[in-house]
């Protein structure tokens, strides 16, 4: 399982929409291909949505995790 802390993509502070291409590139690189990936950490909803979209077709399974919700499966393309 690959864990991506969304806050680390923009290194704390404030996420900037104009820097989103770099955030997405880093997330896709960290996720690799065909892996199970969990997104966690503080971050704006728009960034979570864009990362999830970028990982569709790359990750086998994508999970969101927070202390409030626990694990929430976003998609799962595992054939088993």
Helices 45-55, 20-31: crossing angle, 10 deg rounding: 50
Q: For residue 79, what pLDDT is reported?
A: 79
- Quick: pLDDT tens for 9-26: 999 799 999 999 999 999
CA-to-CA distance for 5 and 42, rounded, in angstroms? 8
| pLDDT tier at 60, thresholds 50, 70, 90 | very high
User: Is residue 52 helix, strand or coil?
Assistant: helix
Domain boundaries, the chain: 2-76
């Amino acid at each position: 399982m690959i864990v991506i802390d969304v806050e680390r993509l923009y290194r704390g502070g404030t996420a900037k929409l104009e820097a989103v291409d770099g955030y997405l590139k880093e997330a896709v690189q960290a996720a690799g291909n065909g892996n199970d990936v969990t997104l966690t950490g503080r971050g704006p909803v728009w960034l979570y949505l864009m990362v999830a979209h970028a990982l569709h077709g790359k990750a086998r399974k994508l999970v969101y995790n927070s202390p409030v919700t626990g694990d929430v499966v976003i998609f799962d393309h595992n054939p088993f």
